[in-house]
Structure 1
Amino acid sequence: MKLRKATAAAATALVLSLTATACGGDDSSSDAGSDSSSSGGGDTIKIGIKYDQPGLGLKEPSGDFSGFDVDVATYVAGELGFEPDQIEWVETKSADRENALARGDVKFIAATYSITDERKEKVDFAGPYLLAHQDLLVKADSDIAEGTDLNGKKLCSVTGSTSAQNVKDEIAPDAQLQQRSTYSECISSLQSGAVDALTTDDSILAGFASQEQYQGQFKLTNLKLSNENYGIGVKKGDTATVNSINEALEKMVSDGAWQQAVTDNFGPAEYKNEPAPAIGNVVS
């Protein structure tokens, strides 16, 4: 009899425990980087950005982060319920963005992530939040300009970027394309003369060209070789987070924070950005 009473008591305690868990929140155990609600509430949120793109996503020597993507992501995180000190920034290189989302390493990615049909098969996108154009960064005394045949030229881009793919498929199939893991490596190759040009989005190139250590060394060709619609990447199927981010982006534009971020990050380079795109309006 005593054994049966003890078992009954234990069972009652278990039921009460499960009931309390169901009624109470589980915010403390949520993983904001992967499976937590897009409305926030966890201790931190993991956001994928670039670490080496001045003006967009840059890890400063102090350990702080700066750039347009960082400002956009911070605003969005705030709308999802996270303060700036609750954000954990995760470096996501171009070639690993889809994998990072699939693995649940991050909740979303804001890292000059162009929306393409191929990528939409693997991830979902909110936005777009910026329309950029593929361009070339060359040395200040370079004669590469509009009308220049780029076939045979040595071009550098980043592995996994749409810019590298565009060179192969459309712009100059016979160019000598050299792919690096970061844009900083391409800049070094351009400085040394190992390549004739760095090709990627004009927003990224403007960020580099405006840096104090590079001022006067390089110029943009303003060729507008393609349209690059920057979106915020989200794990495939996470429609709730996509919708929440889109609402945040619309609010960021309407309250002036988007334009302020553009001015703060691209103003020094006199970057002539396109107006804020409408959500869902992907320019081909």
Structure 2
Amino acid sequence: MVTLTGTGRLRRASALVLLGAVALFSVPACAAGSSILDKDSLVIGVKPDQPGLGMKDADGEFTGFDVDVAAYIARKLGKSARFVATPSSEREKALMEGSVDLVVATYSITPERKTKVAFGGPYYVAHQDTLVRAGESGIAGVRALKGRKLCQVTGSNSWRRVKEERKIAVELVEAASYSECISDLNAGKVDAVSTDDLILAGFATPDLKIVNAPFSDERYGVGIQAGDLDGCEAVNKAITEMYLDGTAKNLLQKWFAKSGLALTFTVPQFEGCG
């Protein structure tokens, strides 16, 4: 039997504290059982009010490009899927609280968002563009918006890329949503609407046209809980297969071919899951 002195007892206690700290920090950020791969069914957040991307119909069903992409990913993961409406302002909160497993909702990958959640993909790289009336011949690009009336959606940063980042002297006209912007554009209250081209494509009609002069990259990612490395890599594999088997091209043409938008059918460069 070994008898410890006061100094020995202190050293032993210190060692146990150190081992406990090592064990604590060795636990992965995404605890065992919390990966999407460990679930039989996935709850996926999508938009309910963006034509062509995510719309909830009168029967409560969700349709659109993002919805189809999400359904494809779930099938490739061997999971069933249930869709829920997830507005832009609630995407990070929903993932962090676990009320959704994935978010596929025109969710641009940004450095700030990556401090809170992880991203698979991107599954598509959209670009900010401009929508004008079909008879408009004086706006061929973002610089031509100088002196024009541009719709400013409350809570959106798209107008900042025009007025603040590029210092273009536009006259801003406030609106509560892009749907309201489209109404104002048709009524002649504004001269242009500028945001992600896939969003604009959903609103394009014979009376409205996309300029097709993109000026930013918007990398649409699949939002996933931070720390789920295996789940993220599985999502990336599914997205790759979606492009290689032709599904991505078919879905993009299904939802946006009539819009006149210049679409991209090649696999996007992934952000990486690490």
The equivalent of 1:190 in structure 2 is 185
Query: Bigger shift: 129-138 or 188-197?
Result: 188-197
The equivalent of 1:45 in structure 2 is 42
* 1:10-21 to 2 correspondences below 5 Å: none
Output the CA distance in 2 between the equivalents of 1:236 and 1:159.
29
Match of 1:170 among 165, 173, 176: 165
Output the CA distance in 2 between the equivalents of 1:93 and 1:180.
17
C-alpha contact 1:151 1:172 (8 A) present in aligned 2: no
Output the CA distance in 2 between the equivalents of 1:130 and 1:49.
15
CA offsets per residue over residues 98-141 of structure 1, 9 Å max, x none? 22222222111111112122222222111011121100111223
Deviation for aligned residue 1:255:
2.0
C-alpha contact 2:102 2:222 (8 A) present in aligned 1: yes
Give the SS at the match of 1:226: coil
Give the SS at the match of 1:135: strand
Q: May I ask how many residue pairs the two structures share in their alignment?
A: 239
Output the CA distance in 2 between the equivalents of 1:64 and 1:156.
30
Output the CA distance in 2 between the equivalents of 1:161 and 1:113.
13
2:68 aligned with 1:71: yes
* 1:1-284 to 2 correspondences below 5 Å: 36-39=34-37, 41-42=39-40, 44-83=41-80, 87-142=81-136, 143-146=138-141, 148-172=143-167, 174-178=169-173, 180=175, 182-209=177-204, 215-280=205-270
Q: 1:66 to 1:237 in 2, by over 3 A?
A: same
Whichever residue aligns with residue 132 of structure 2, its letter is V
C-alpha contact 1:144 1:221 (8 A) present in aligned 2: yes
Q: 1:154 to 1:172 in 2, by over 3 A?
A: farther
Output the CA distance in 1 between the equivalents of 2:88 and 2:124.
17
Output the CA distance in 2 between the equivalents of 1:163 and 1:65.
26
Give identity over the alignment, percent: 45
Unaligned runs of 5+ in 2: 1-32
Give the SS at the match of 1:189: helix
Give the SS at the match of 1:156: strand
Output the CA distance in 2 between the equivalents of 1:147 and 1:164.
11
C-alpha contact 2:243 2:265 (8 A) present in aligned 1: no
Whichever residue aligns with residue 97 of structure 2, its letter is R
Deviation for aligned residue 1:70:
0.8
C-alpha contact 1:94 1:160 (8 A) present in aligned 2: no
Output the CA distance in 2 between the equivalents of 1:164 and 1:135.
11
Whichever residue aligns with residue 230 of structure 1, its letter is Y
Q: 1:147 to 1:62 in 2, by over 3 A?
A: closer
The equivalent of 2:8 in structure 1 is none
Query: TM-score, normalised to structure 1's length?
Result: 0.74
CA offsets per residue over residues 179-216 of structure 1, 9 Å max, x none? 6554223222322333322111112211211xxxxx32
Output the CA distance in 2 between the equivalents of 1:115 and 1:138.
27
Whichever residue aligns with residue 235 of structure 1, its letter is Q
C-alpha contact 1:94 1:161 (8 A) present in aligned 2: no
Deviation for aligned residue 1:226:
0.9
